[in-house]
Structure 1
Amino acid sequence: AVLPFANGSNDSEMDYLGEGISEEITNSLSRLPNLQVMARSTVAHYRTRQDDPQGVGSDLHVDAVMTGRVVIHGNEINVETELVNVVTGVQLWGERYTRSANDASLLQAAITRDIASQLRPQLTGSEREHVAQVGTKDADAYRLYLKGRYRYQRWTLEDLKAAAEFFDQAVAKDPGYAAAYAGLVDVYAIQGYEGYVSGTELMDKARSAARRALELDNNNPEAHAALANLDFNYFWNFPEAEEEIRKALTLDPNSAYAHEVHCWIQTSRGRTQQGLAECRRAVELDPLSPLNNFALADEYFLAREYTHAIEQANKTLEIDPNNPQSLAVLGHSHEQLGNYKTAMEQWVKIERLRGHEARANELMGIFKKEGYTGYLRRTAKDGSAEGDYDLSAGNYAMLNEKDKAFAALEKGFAKRVVVDINIDPRFDHLRSDPRFADLLRRIGLPQVQFPTSPS
């Protein structure tokens, strides 16, 4: 595990530098053969425990922990690093580096090369150089890229917008910087996923950025995984999605993100157990990631393993108590099991998290007066009016109001938000209808058969 490097300066604006360098070292080391490196999003939970590498390593079940401290003196960067054996507390390696601020990317390369030599002494010189490769020698481009990565991790509307601006500036400084293009792809994908922005223009820009990154560096696993994500979720180019995700995993078998995307693809193709295994692997690699934990819960739901879905969603809520996606998995799972009161409690919690207290009270009032069908009918109608066609179609399908469900699905098809309908339990009433088979054909999804009894 590589802990985020501590900022030894008094300027909090420089937090991005230590965190960015340590993240890039993590990404590079994860590509070493037969070495598992904990993902940044899990290790970030321990950023304040630099003085307790043994305790952190014990919590994370790793053999060694790397720590670092970054201090800025004028135009000079000083970095102190050490690698500690978790069992004995012995320092396995340590080094102090001093570089000009203009050589920050070379500093990262030097640290990565040295630590790789300690972890894998049998590496040849060329292999060490490859692992330590940094995508740019332009100091400004590198700093802008690290700032983009730092803001990207937060996933808020404002932070993602800022991250995109930093990555754009980085590629303007160095048009050959593949990692900065891959960063843009990540931002566009999450902006679309979170619903912050939408439309074909954004996704076309994302795909162009991914392909540009691969033109510059075809061995960039993040770009291959990002392109697979776009191909699967938006462009429905499923053959290319499978090809790209296999390339990503070949280049970086320890990428939790790549295993996550592979999980989605496998499950949608009807390979349910293989997909769940990929989602579980993503959680093993990044155990404190709310996204990976939620995604495993969601895939359990889609696999009709509702008990496991509820258990996993609750685990995710232990990590992130206000995670609305996990509350939705709880709601949908209890809904399928007929536990309508418990399902309603989840929908009300989500509304309250959004600050919609009056709406929460209104929906609970409808449930008490008209039952769960009243709630479904009201939210189906509202979803259609508000452009939430997935919600509308799913609720109309559960009400067995097929014409309205298909009308909403067609609108969802136009917005390209229907990629999971072949495995989503909410649409089981529609599966025998020829219109459903036709919709699957147009998307390129296979018909998938599931056991009739839920678990």
Structure 2
Amino acid sequence: MSKLPKQRLTFFFSDIEGSTSLIASLGERYADILEQYRCIVRSALAAYQGREIDTAGDGFFAVFRDTRQAVIAAVRMQRAFATQAWARNVDFRVRMGIHTGDAIVAPTGFIGLEVHRASRICNAANGGQVLLTPTVLESAGEPLPEGADTIYLGEFLLKGFGQPERLFQLIVPGIDNPFLSPQTERPLPTIAVLPFAVRSMDPNDGFLGDGMAEEIIIALGKVPGLQVVARSASFAFRQQSLDPREIGKRLNADVILEGTVRRSSSRMRVNAELVDARSGLNLWSEGFEGKLEDIFVVQDDIARHIATALRLKLGSRQVRGIRSVQTHNVDAYRHYVQGRHLFYQFSRPSIEAALGLFQQAVAADPSYALAYCGMANCYSYIYVYLDHAEENLQAAIQSSREAIELDPLLAEGYVAYGWVLSLTERLEEAEAAFDKAIDLDPKLFEARFLYGRVSFAQGKLEKAARLYEEANRRRPEDFQSLLLAGQVYDDLGEDVRSREMRWRGVLLAEKHLELNPHDTRALSLGANGLVALGERKKGLQWIEKALQLESDDAMLFYNAACIYALTDMPAKALDLLERSIEAGITHRDWLENDSNLDPLREEPRFKELIAGLLDPRS
């Protein structure tokens, strides 16, 4: 049997809201209303090259080859309904859903998952509302026709689909838009954990508040049925006296956890409060009092209380994940928390300081497996970006092995080990380590993200793209995974998918920069995405701002070199590439395989730079 062909099309669905009630109230007059509705829809389809596929009851299914024509048709239909006296008199409203995707062309019409997705999107809309997906906006381009605009509504779980869908509302000029939230299955609740305020007089107690929040974020990240806002986003609201409803709106969170920590000598008191981010009402609150070393028990108790308050069920693996106390030594814990905070700043001084703190944590508690993970990650970072000395590589290997020996069920240990194995070109062993990490903790973002990087280095592009997208599903606000997936799809020749990933990644980077305006990684990766999407001027503005903020970052110089190479500025690109090598980038295979650097390959200076680097395979 021959394989049926596929086509990428824009699918349009519509139906009448409350049609049963209208039939009951209008009686025989409903037939006239239905006929006028069909007339308006068919007229718009004919005018804007839409092909009617099916009509069942009051529903329409049509396809468009041109996405912009589909948007125009929807705008014209809703304007027509809004201006008809007969429609206003009976409160007649039509809901619509538009989605762009691939479908199988069958003799009876079009079939496939994306057709069903479009139908579910229409079902989620309110009367008078038009819902769109990111693929529609990417395909239609900007600005939208007919003066239309969009607003982002959030992620919603469509019936029959396992992953939430990002939905946008089409704003039709001249028509009011006071719609209720889309009518979908209950989406996964999202929680933002704010840094706990420290009420102690001792400035050294600052780690208590950050550490409390960070450990709860990690514990809740293991709970199925719950999404947790990333630390970088929630910690941007440190010491800001904003209403929880405003914070929830800005972080797209359903609930907010906030609290205080007060220490007095060897005693402490912790107060925690879970707040509904929409109503501002208290969902749960409790005070905990005990010895300082009880902080670990308190963290676990808070995480379990939150799961209970949100009516989430915990299996044995999730209970173990929450009860993941790694040390009972408060000094070791303090050093570890401070080191982790510095590590995530990703600068030379912060990484070197973080390494020292992780070493102090291990000295205070030699059985602290997470501290060994921190050491391994620092040594790997130093080896890749700062100092390609063999002793750094060996220290990373030894530290990650120590973490696994101390706790064979610690997923973070296998992630650290997988990363360092990839640096030695032991790629199959690295894959096995990442697979083990994912098996131990399926929700761990870092496992899939770093696994994606290793797969990309192996040339396994399809696998890399899948892993980046899976990583983003574990941390939906992460811009890096989407922007890197965009480049992979570009290398695969999947232009539409590449643009969708980059477009979504840039949106997330913009949102991240609203909270963290000095994040040079968001600026540099976002700049790359903007340039690839044709937004050259804005992309160059972003990378220039990043270079002004950071004067000694090897990876930033490398990313900037890629951007200037893509914008036909080879001299500037080569200058920055040379600076990146001087600052620590020594991986020859990066420069040989990165498609962003293709415009430089015939430059004599580029060939000289390549020749001067070590081959990791030798």
Among 273, 276, 284, the residue aligned to 1:93: 284
Alpha-carbon distance in structure 2 between the residues aligned to 1:385 and 1:309 = 32
2:395 maps to which residue? 205
Asked if 1 retains the 8 angstrom alpha-carbon contact of 2:578 and 2:609, the reply is no
Asked if 2 retains the 8 angstrom alpha-carbon contact of 1:259 and 1:282, the reply is yes
2:379 maps to which residue? 188
The reply to whether residue 253 of structure 1 matches residue 442 of structure 2 is yes
Q: Deviations over 1:324-345 (max 9, x none)?
A: 5566667777998999999887
Give TM-score, length-normalised by structure 1: 0.72
Change (3 A) 1:159 1:352: closer
Alpha-carbon distance in structure 1 between the residues aligned to 2:314 and 2:529 = 49
Change (3 A) 1:105 1:76: same
Alpha-carbon distance in structure 2 between the residues aligned to 1:350 and 1:148 = 24
Alpha-carbon distance in structure 1 between the residues aligned to 2:341 and 2:519 = 21
TM-align CA RMSD: 4.2
Change (3 A) 1:126 1:269: closer
Alpha-carbon distance in structure 1 between the residues aligned to 2:607 and 2:394 = 27
Among 404, 413, 417, the residue aligned to 1:223: 413
Unpaired stretches in structure 2, ≥5 consecutive residues? 1-190, 558-563
Q: Deviations over 1:96-125 (max 9, x none)?
A: 111222433333334344444545675478
1:174 maps to which residue? 365
SS where residue 465 of structure 2 aligns? helix
Q: Deviations over 1:170-196 (max 9, x none)?
A: 111211111111121232233345x23
Alpha-carbon distance in structure 2 between the residues aligned to 1:348 and 1:89 = 41
Unpaired stretches in structure 1, ≥5 consecutive residues? 361-366, 417-441, 444-455
Alpha-carbon distance in structure 2 between the residues aligned to 1:178 and 1:146 = 13
Among 224, 227, 231, the residue aligned to 1:33: 224
Among 248, 269, 273, the residue aligned to 1:82: 273
Asked if 2 retains the 8 angstrom alpha-carbon contact of 1:317 and 1:323, the reply is no
Among 250, 256, 264, the residue aligned to 2:453: 264
Structure-to-structure mapping, 1:342-421, within 5 angstroms: 352-354=548-550, 372=569, 398=599, 401=602, 408-409=609-610, 411-414=612-615, 416=616
Give TM-score, length-normalised by structure 2: 0.55
Change (3 A) 1:229 1:285: same
2:123 maps to which residue? none
Change (3 A) 1:120 1:280: same
- Structure 1 residue 255: Cα displacement: 2.1
Alpha-carbon distance in structure 1 between the residues aligned to 2:315 and 2:532 = 56
Change (3 A) 1:173 1:257: same
Alpha-carbon distance in structure 1 between the residues aligned to 2:390 and 2:307 = 42
Q: Who wins on radius of gyration, i.e. which is larger?
A: 2
SS where residue 26 of structure 1 aligns? helix
1:241 maps to which residue? 430
Change (3 A) 1:377 1:181: closer
SS where residue 227 of structure 2 aligns? coil
Alpha-carbon distance in structure 2 between the residues aligned to 1:241 and 1:70 = 40
Alpha-carbon distance in structure 1 between the residues aligned to 2:579 and 2:353 = 33
Change (3 A) 1:307 1:184: same
2:352 maps to which residue? 161
Asked if 2 retains the 8 angstrom alpha-carbon contact of 1:42 and 1:286, the reply is no
SS where residue 135 of structure 1 aligns? coil
Bigger drift between 147-156 and 376-385 goes to 376-385
Bigger drift between 96-105 and 168-177 goes to 96-105
Asked if 2 retains the 8 angstrom alpha-carbon contact of 1:84 and 1:93, the reply is yes
Amino acid in structure 1 at the alignment position of 2:452: C
Q: Deviations over 1:285-315 (max 9, x none)?
A: 4455565565455545655657557644575
Asked if 1 retains the 8 angstrom alpha-carbon contact of 2:445 and 2:475, the reply is yes
Q: Deviations over 1:261-307 (max 9, x none)?
A: 12223334444344334323434544555655654555456556575
Alpha-carbon distance in structure 1 between the residues aligned to 2:581 and 2:228 = 45
Asked if 2 retains the 8 angstrom alpha-carbon contact of 1:178 and 1:213, the reply is yes
- Structure 1 residue 372: Cα displacement: 4.7
Amino acid in structure 2 at the alignment position of 1:210: S
Alpha-carbon distance in structure 1 between the residues aligned to 2:491 and 2:301 = 46
1:319 maps to which residue? 512
1:147 maps to which residue? 338
Alpha-carbon distance in structure 1 between the residues aligned to 2:293 and 2:337 = 14
SS where residue 191 of structure 1 aligns? helix
Alpha-carbon distance in structure 2 between the residues aligned to 1:165 and 1:196 = 16
Amino acid in structure 2 at the alignment position of 1:316: A
Among 190, 193, 213, the residue aligned to 1:22: 213
- Structure 1 residue 215: Cα displacement: 0.9
Alpha-carbon distance in structure 2 between the residues aligned to 1:293 and 1:397 = 22
Change (3 A) 1:157 1:271: closer
Change (3 A) 1:70 1:300: farther
SS where residue 158 of structure 1 aligns? helix
Among 383, 404, 420, the residue aligned to 1:214: 404
Q: Deviations over 1:233-275 (max 9, x none)?
A: x111111221121222222222222221122233344443443
Alpha-carbon distance in structure 2 between the residues aligned to 1:301 and 1:328 = 18
Amino acid in structure 1 at the alignment position of 2:195: P
Asked if 1 retains the 8 angstrom alpha-carbon contact of 2:229 and 2:475, the reply is yes
Alpha-carbon distance in structure 1 between the residues aligned to 2:533 and 2:308 = 54
Change (3 A) 1:381 1:200: closer
Amino acid in structure 1 at the alignment position of 2:442: P
Bigger proportion of residues as helix? 1
Alpha-carbon distance in structure 2 between the residues aligned to 1:298 and 1:271 = 13
Change (3 A) 1:120 1:327: closer
Bigger drift between 274-283 and 331-340 goes to 331-340
Percent identity of paired positions between Structure 1 and Structure 2: 26
Asked if 2 retains the 8 angstrom alpha-carbon contact of 1:185 and 1:207, the reply is yes
Bigger drift between 279-288 and 28-37 goes to 279-288
Amino acid in structure 1 at the alignment position of 2:260: R
Asked if 1 retains the 8 angstrom alpha-carbon contact of 2:342 and 2:354, the reply is yes
Q: Deviations over 1:373-412 (max 9, x none)?
A: 6656777788788886659767996455498766644543
Change (3 A) 1:144 1:376: closer
SS where residue 412 of structure 1 aligns? coil
- Structure 1 residue 79: Cα displacement: 0.5
